[in-house]
Amino acid sequence: MAVRARYRPHPRGFGFADPVATDTLTEIPVTITGEDGRGTEIDRIFVPPPTAKGLLADDLLDVEVELDDKGASARSVTLVSRPRKMLVGTVQRGPGRVVLDPNHALGTGWIDLDPGVASKLEQAVGRQIVVLAAEREDGAPLGRALVAGPHVVGSPQAIRAASVVVALGRAAPSLVPGGPAAAGLETAEAETTHLRIVGLLAGGGRGGAAGLDTSGPLPGVEAPWVERRDEPCVTVDSASTRDVDDAVAASWDGGEDSPVHVAIHIADVARAIGLGSPADRYARVVASTAYLAVGENAPMLDPALSEGALSLLPHEDRWAISARFDVTPDGSLAEVAIESAAVRSRAKLSYESLEAWLAGDPDGIHIEAGSSAAVADEVLTAAVEASRRLGVERDGRATFEELFEDAEVEPALVDGRLATVAATPHAEAYRQIERLMVAANESVASWLIARQVPALYRAHVGLAPDRLARLRAAVELAGAEVPALDHADADADVVVSQLIAAIDAADAAGRHAERDLLVSVAAGSTARASYEPDPSAHTGLASSAYTHFTSPIRRYADLVVHRQIRAALAEEAPPHSAEELGPLAGWLDARAGAMRFLQSRERADLWSRLFDRGFLDESEPARVTGLTSNGLKVRLPRLGVSGFVPAERALDLPPKQRGSLSVDEHGLTTTSGPWQVGSRVTVRFAGLDATGRPNWRLGDGPGSA
């Protein structure tokens, strides 16, 4: 029986094929009839090494399946389509020729190179390259053209190239539900643009946004605008930021019972980027700017615009869409208004200087603000008061925000050398500004809903439905009570509130192991946020409605929202109907998600190099996040790194002896050792595996074997 499936490789040379529905993307279980006439439901098919050789990640296959006592395996496969058009790997010397050994995330088995390419790589054996993929007559992949490299394996440039190819290839246009048509794009153009982006970024470039034509229809051309250039405002960003898309104006008379008047000015990108223009279509494909640790960032828009003509640079006249609101003494928002405005920033301030200003040292702010120092002090005093009030109100909301441990350090290139830097430098200053931006997004969402303007909303259901059974088991194991979990129709906010109460109760009673268990499982049970065309609650922020409005230079979803706003201000029909926004939302989730995956993968690979160079020579605190028969899943909170301790290392078995843990059905606890999810342990780096990922063992400390 032939089953249509998507292929995913395994580093050990075999792979699995996941059956898919008629859309060729949705994974589904299928029923296979065995020789005895009985049906067996399967959701994956083992592809043995000989058959896996020459297959690439995400290949669409027709698989002939056979069943035995170990499950389903592939008797043979037929390639239907191959969405990945770019490959990354190392050059190796095969019998009489050089070949490509692909990155383990893409496939296994040597891949032939076009003779013209191979001739250029005779002296590059052991180096990493990126090639454009073609197919031989037998369907086997072929490296047709050299795109990037050769790079030294493990070098920052090689890490960037591999991350780009692996991450962005996973969200090729044909792999997004609905395809490019969902976003109103021509398939061929979107595929070409995507391939060009991957090639340019893999080669260390900034992408293809520069110089693109912006001409096209502009919604809201006749919208009234307000003169605000005399109203003092400032921008606050990292000192190195060049694409400045938000400014803050705030005033307050100092009275405890008086409102703080706030205006968040956002660069009016929708006034400059014509709908359907080449610049717009490129931005729709890329979906967001990527900020990479290696090399330049990859902007969504032409840097001449995003870092120049549209950026809210100091002392420059700019157009903005502004969210204006009052922050009342209890932290609620009042008098919400949205307007088109002409603005002029008085100063470009940094988080570093704001952090010092908050601590009582104004010198940095005064130097950055120059002659506008007094104005900057006034704006910041009011803005920080507004943020304080918003913080008090937000602290009263039931959210999981406090359960997540932010990383303290992250890898970066400093003067061309791989090092570590603070992950969130000047965290308090960042928090003050972030609260204002969240409030602006909430105010815009409420304004759109009140006027029944279709838009993209940011939705978050809180707990993922497919993780509730594990959460219930954790609550029972901890001896806690979360009654709402037993009701399928329970309100998400109620579940979250009760769960937080159970965590607090365990903490107050000194039951720290139970508290850690609940925290770890709750943090791992949250769903991903997504774009939706209908107003939906954002449980992660405890917001009844939320949208992305504050970064149209960097996120295409924000640009969509700005266009809808401009049309509403001009009393025009919106450029996007509610029916169009649904498919577009899915496209942007997939494409922007790929950019986030690119950034996280690059950081993970940079960490691997740092570990290999001796960054960690002592034990590091970690938390157990999951248990399998093969070992412990752990997270190193300080570094923001996840890892795995094999069972044999956890049990301290002799070399070459395989180990196994006895684990409950939800992977919460084991009888093979003292560990459960949430257990505090220490780990030591034990080297890189064949794929370049870190190996870990338990170190000296609590919970160590």
Confidence of residue 465 (pLDDT cuts 50, 70, 90): confident
Q: Are 163 and 605 in contact (CB under 8 A)?
A: yes
Residues 363 and 337 in one domain: yes
Residues 499 and 554 in one domain: no
For residues 437 and 247, what is the distance between their CA atoms, to the nearest angstrom? 10
Residue 126: is its pLDDT beyond 50?
yes
pLDDT of residue 399: 58
Confidence of residue 704 (pLDDT cuts 50, 70, 90): low
CATH at 68: 2.40.50.140
Residues 548 and 516 in one domain: no
Task: Transcribe 676-692 into DSSP letters.
Answer: BTT-EEEEEEEEE-TTS
**pLDDT digit string (tens) for 66-83?**
988 788 999 999 999 999
- Point out the least confidently predicted range of 59-68, 398-407, 487-496: 398-407
DSSP 529: P
Mean pLDDT, residues 286-302 taken together: 94
Strand 246-251, strand 97-102: pairing: unpaired
369-374-377 Cα angle (round to 5):
80
For residues 511 and 652, what is the distance between their CA atoms, to the nearest angstrom? 28
Residue 2: is its pLDDT beyond 90?
no
Collapsing DSSP states into helix, strand and coil, what is residue 249?
strand
Look at residues 81, 97, 112 and tell me which one is the last residue of a structural domain.
81
Residue 564: is its pLDDT beyond 50?
yes
Mean pLDDT, residues 244-248 taken together: 97
Residues 494 and 358 in one domain: no
- Point out the least confidently predicted range of 158-162, 331-335, 362-366, 520-524: 520-524
**pLDDT digit string (tens) for 340-356?**
999 999 999 999 999 99
pLDDT of residue 539: 44
Residues 692 and 634 in one domain: yes
For residues 684 and 387, what is the distance between their CA atoms, to the nearest angstrom? 41
Residues 580 and 442 in one domain: yes
Residue 703: is its pLDDT beyond 70?
no
Decide if 579 is inside a domain.
yes
Look at residues 604, 638, 656 and tell me which one is the last residue of a structural domain.
604
Residue 392: is its pLDDT beyond 60?
yes
Number of domains, the chain: 4
**pLDDT digit string (tens) for 408-439?**
999 999 988 999 999 888 989 999 999 999 99
Q: What percent of the chain has pLDDT over 90?
A: 80
Residues 520 and 640 in one domain: no
Decide if 187 is inside a domain.
no
Residues 327 and 409 in one domain: yes
Length, in residues, of the chain: 705
SS3 content of the chain, % helix, strand, coil (to 5): 35, 30, 40
Residue 384: is its pLDDT beyond 70?
yes
Decide if 503 is inside a domain.
yes
Tell me what the pLDDT averaged over the chain comes to. Answer: 92
Q: Are 446 and 336 in contact (CB under 8 A)?
A: yes
Comparing 114 with 425, the larger pLDDT belongs to 114
Look at residues 475, 503, 527 and tell me which one is the last residue of a structural domain.
527
Decide if 130 is inside a domain.
no
Residues 400 and 542 in one domain: yes
Decide if 214 is inside a domain.
no
Residues 331 and 398 in one domain: yes
Decide if 481 is inside a domain.
yes
Confidence of residue 396 (pLDDT cuts 50, 70, 90): low
Residues 551 and 627 in one domain: no
Collapsing DSSP states into helix, strand and coil, what is residue 180?
helix
**pLDDT digit string (tens) for 603-615?**
999 999 999 999 9
pLDDT of residue 544: 64
Q: Report the b/e string of 564-578 with b at 16+ CB within 10 A.
A: bbbbbbeeeebbbee
pLDDT of residue 33: 82
The separation between CA 206 and the C-alpha centre of its own chain, rounded to angstroms, equals 19
Q: Which of 102, 12, 155, 87 is nearest to 608 (CA)?
A: 155
Residue 489: is its pLDDT beyond 80?
no
Confidence of residue 541 (pLDDT cuts 50, 70, 90): very low
Distances (CA, A) of 164 to 192, 321, 592, 690: 16, 34, 13, 20
pLDDT of residue 101: 96
pTM of the predicted model over 0.95: no
Residues 434 and 470 in one domain: no
Q: Which of 527, 557, 388, 376 is nearest to 461 (CA)?
A: 527
Domain hosting 74: range is 2-81
Decide if 27 is inside a domain.
yes
DSSP 466: G
**pLDDT digit string (tens) for 17-58?**
999 999 999 999 999 887 777 888 899 999 999 999 999 999
Decide if 296 is inside a domain.
yes
For residues 379 and 247, what is the distance between their CA atoms, to the nearest angstrom? 11
Residue 705: is its pLDDT beyond 70?
no
